Amino acid sequence: MLFEEMMNNDQLVIGDKQFESRLFTGTGKFNDQQTMVAALKASKSELVTMALKRVDMQHKDDDILAPLIKNGMNLLPNTSGARNAKEAVFAAELAREALQTNWVKLEIHPDPKYLLPDPIETLKAAEMLANKGFVILPYVHADPVLCKHLESAGCAAVMPLGAPIGSNKGIKTAEFLDIIIEQATVPVIVDAGLGSPSHAALAMEMGADAVLVNTAIAVAGNPVAMSEAFAKAVQAGRQAYLAGLGGQSTEAVASSPLTAFLEASL
Amino acid sequence: MKIQVNEQALTLPNSMNIEQLLTHLEKPLIGSAVAVNMQIINRSEWATHNINEGDSISLFQAIAGG
């Protein structure tokens, strides 16, 4: 197959949906709704995350849903705030009613300091949600064994972290992401910690199927421009992966002929 | 009729269903989820599920998040 043809047919399939863009985005932490919508549009992202909260009876919340739906974005509600499997299942069921989707980003992080995902509760919740017909995308540590368990439990993808949520530290889990990507039979979405477009490009070069970026875009000096930069980086990284990266070596490998023509006698 | 909505005591002027309650509270139907006494009520039942005296209603809304 021609390379161009390969690039053109390079669609990501998760559950019942196909995606052109391999950049998924979050809706949190933007200064205002207008910037959020403009940035998400610029990202060309087709899957955006949302959270759910108990309504504050004293205040009126902004309606952020209408512009997202209007722009054709698929919504991925998360279970953020859940501290165990039982709470996560309840949150997922509420989100299904609120957003009329059976897709859920399963996240259970009881520790408020590092927001690291609880593997035991996450696996428990995944098993329960699979029985209830959810399309589950679990946020997990870059643990290859856990990712295989989640696959067996029926998850539609796995979302291992690069670094703690919102830390912008980049890919600190590369060795383990490599193993997860090698072994996975479901899409691998690198989530959390990607702080710059080069981090996203690296994840894609490594063979990740997609990345999820929120903080790095939302808190950028210019979120719309940063969104575009991430979109380009994800595309470049994917293209590089498909093109086949050259191997590495410790010693130099000459790129020019080393014949000693300057010394040659005429 | 006395009920609780998100742990806040509330008196309703007359009997109503969930859809009417959301409108009464000026809350959007889109993006909302409702549980009555911790039981989630399907959206398709909002127009027929009547609120009873003493019910504890939990009201949730989709918001921005990562």
Q: Does some domain include residue B27?
A: yes
CB contact under 8 A, A28 and B27: no
Residue B44 falls inside a structural domain = yes
Q: What is the pLDDT of residues A111-162, one digit of tens each?
A: 989 999 999 999 999 999 999 999 999 999 999 999 999 999 999 999 999 9
Residue B66 belongs to some domain of the structure: no
Whether B39 is covered by a domain: the verdict is yes
Q: Which of B25, B30, B65 lies nearest to residue A27, judging by beta carbons?
A: B65
Instruction: Quote ipTM for the complex.
Output: 0.88
- Span of A2-6, A87-91, A143-147, B19-23 with lowest mean pLDDT: A2-6
Residue B56 belongs to domain with CATH number:
3.10.20.30
* Mean pLDDT rounded to a whole number for chain A: 93
Question: A184, A169, A178, A147: which is closest to A245 by C-alpha?
Answer: A178
Q: Is the pLDDT of residue A258 over 70?
A: yes
Q: Which of the four pLDDT bands, split at 50, 70 and 90, describes residue B48? A: very high
- Cβ–Cβ under 8 Å, residues B15 and B1: yes
The verdict on a CB contact (< 8 Å) between B66 and A64 is: no
Q: Is residue B57 part of a domain?
A: yes
**Residue A57 confidence class, pLDDT cut points 50, 70, 90:** confident
> What's residue A200's pLDDT?
98
**Domain extent at residue B20:** 2-61
Is residue B12 a part of any domain in this protein? Answer: yes
Nearest to A51 among B41, B59, B64 (CB): B64
Asked if B29 is an interface residue toward chain A (Cβ–Cβ < 8 A), one would say: no
Please indicate whether residue A60 is annotated as part of the active site.
Answer: no
In a domain, residue B56? The reply is yes
* B6–A contact, CB cutoff 8 A: yes
Q: What is the reported pTM?
A: 0.90
Residue A246, number of CB atoms within 10 A of its CB: 7
| A263: pLDDT strictly greater than 90 | no
Query: Does residue A253 have a pLDDT over 80?
Result: yes
Overall number of domains in chain B: 1
Strand extents, DSSP E, A43-193: 47-54, 74-77, 103-106, 135-140, 159-160, 189-191
